[in-house]
Amino acid sequence: MDFKLSPQEEAFRAEVRAFLDQNLPEGANKFDPRFLAEWNKKVRAKRWVGFSWPKEVGGGGGGIMEQVVLKEEMSKRKAPPLGVCFMGLAWVGPAIIQYGTEAQKQRFIPDILDGAYQWCTGYSEPSTGSDLAALQCKAVREGDSYVVNGQKIWTSIAMWSKWIILLVRTDPNAASKHDGITCLLVEMSTPGIEVRPIQNMSGGAMFAEVFFNDVRVPVENRLGAEGQGWQVTVSALQSERSSIAEVTAMYRKLEELQELAKRTQRNGQPAARDPRVRRQLAVFEAKIEAMKLNGLRALTLQLKGAPLSSETSINKLLRAELEVDMGDFALELLGSAAVYRSGTPETVDGGRWQTGALNWPEVVIGGGTPNIQKNIIAERILHLPKD
């Protein structure tokens, strides 16, 4: 056991810190569009956007440990994200790099790195959420095109995206439901696509329904082979498992909660003196620390060359619990004032705690519900029979 970094990794950490000292000064307005434009240019020039991608496609060619260092330092300083095309960087890009044709790589990868426009993700359907592989949105080959008909739902930022990565059924008679699925890259302005935003329980509208009515997609926009869609999308999902950025963010939330507990009252004294409050905050700390250390154990396995496994499900479950419970606990600390929505003169801290307590489904449900994570652990790690 050894938690020290190699001299090269330490040198890289120093480089990242020096960059942040220079380009993210104390008090910089991180929401100022001009500042963000400059920031994006600078991190792109450092090749820290798509840091783990191969250099040939314009990525940084960074190693696993360097990725961890970069994420950790960025997260510690609350830096703006590295790149703005969130889904493009998270999974569309990796899928194109792994399965795309040369032409597709040249057409899409530079735009993803530059953040030229947004991608959205068309996987879930009204009748297929957790059972994703049962999806029904169909595509029929007609000459040089696929004709797509069907519906997607829970498509985050569909209304602001230029492209969608889409899973469709091309072979309804395939032996297994996974085999009949194909992956298409579709321009959102194609005739026949209609987007209807869905309002969420905290009042915002980040996701949408997307309808496809005789939408023609050129065959050259198929990613991977016909029938390979499941493999294309699943294998591109995770390339680094330390969850270090999430952990740093969770620690920051905990500090905010601790600070809130010091300035709210319970039974005539600061809530931070109440034994139950103290215990609950310490329980959160234990779970966040466990996430951090679980991540480092998984990372160690990855560094030793072990294949990607289902261990991320462990931290996903811990994070789900933490997101829900910490959001809720903040409202408990606020007492009666917790019920005011943002915008009233009585609302504490502009309503941010209420928003936090209502926004967790984005993280907790998106990407697999906790119950699905439990199935994954039970079946793939404990080898219990599938149900």
Measured between alpha carbons, how far is 43 from 82 in angstroms, rounded to an integer?
7
Residue 294 binds another protein, judged by CB under 8 A: yes
**Residue closest to 247 by CA, chosen among 181, 142, 323, 352:** 323
Are residues 148 and 186 in contact, defined by beta-carbon separation less than 8 angstroms? yes
Q: Is residue 34 close enough to count as binding another protein by CB under 8 A?
A: no
Q: Which residue of 104, 278, 328, 351 would you call a contact of another protein, by CB under 8 A?
A: 278
Among 265, 293, 339, 350, binds another protein (CB under 8 A): 293
> How far from the centroid of its chain's Cα atoms is residue 325's Cα?
20
Q: Which of 41, 78, 141, 279 binds another protein (CB under 8 A)?
A: 279
Give the DSSP H or E segment for 32: none
C-alpha separations of 60 from 52, 67, 113, 237 in Å: 6, 10, 11, 18
Pairing of strands 145-156, 222-223: unpaired
Nearest Cα to 168, choosing from 216, 109, 201?
216
Is residue 240 part of the annotated active site? The answer reads yes
Contact residue for another protein among 167, 186, 317, 334 (CB under 8 A): 317
Interface pick for another protein out of 11, 116, 225, 283 (rule CB under 8 A): 283
Q: Is the dihedral of CA 88, 92, 97, 103 positive or negative?
A: negative
Task: Tell me the C-alpha distance between 368 and 84, whole Å.
Answer: 23
* Region 331-360 residues binding another protein, contact defined as CB under 8 A: none
Residue from 7, 286, 344, 346 binding another protein (CB under 8 A): 286
Q: Which stretch binds another protein (CB under 8 A): 4-12, 101-109, 126-134, 182-190?
A: 4-12
Query: Does residue 11 interact with another protein by CB under 8 A?
Result: no
* Kind and range of the H or E run holding 150: strand 145-156
What part of residues 47-66 is at the interface with another protein (CB under 8 A)? 65
Regarding 363 and contact with another protein (CB under 8 A), the answer is: no
Residue 227 vs 270, nearer CB to another protein? 270
Kindly compute the dihedral angle of the four CA atoms of residues 21, 24, 77, 16, in this order, to the nearest 10 degrees: -50
169-177, 209-217, 219-227, 254-262 -> range binding another protein (CB under 8 A): 254-262
Measured distance CA(278)–CA(273) in Å, rounded: 7
* Residue 70 in the binding site for another protein (CB under 8 A): no
Catalytic residue among 240, 246, 311, 323: 240
Nearest distance in Å: CB 233, another protein: 24
* Alpha-carbon distances of 173 from 122, 135, 179, 228, rounded to whole Å: 22, 13, 9, 15
Q: Which is nearer to another protein, 92 or 288 (CB)?
A: 288
Instruction: Judge whether 61 and 53 are in contact, CB under 8 Å.
Output: yes
d(C-alpha 278, C-alpha 176), whole Å: 52
Residue whose CB is less far from another protein, 193 or 254: 254
Q: Which residue of 136, 145, 239, 258 would you call a contact of another protein, by CB under 8 A?
A: 258
Report the residue from 102, 269, 304, 336 that binds another protein according to the rule CB under 8 A.
Answer: 304
Main-chain phi, psi angles of 104, to 5 degrees: -65, -40
Q: Is 303 in the site for another protein (CB under 8 A)?
A: yes
| Distance between CA atoms of residues 167 and 380, nearest Å | 24
Binding segment for another protein among 139-147, 174-182, 230-238, 371-379 (CB under 8 A)? 371-379
Residues in 178-237 at the binding interface with another protein, rule: CB under 8 A: none
Figure out which of the listed residues 138, 169, 241, 287 binds another protein, where binding follows CB under 8 A. 287
Q: Does 384 bind another protein (CB under 8 A)?
A: yes
Q: Which residues are catalytic?
A: 240
List contacts with another protein (CB under 8 A): 1-5, 9, 65, 68, 258, 261-262, 272, 275, 278-279, 281-283, 285-287, 289-291, 293-294, 296-297, 299-301, 303-304, 311, 314, 317-318, 371, 373-375, 377-379, 381-387
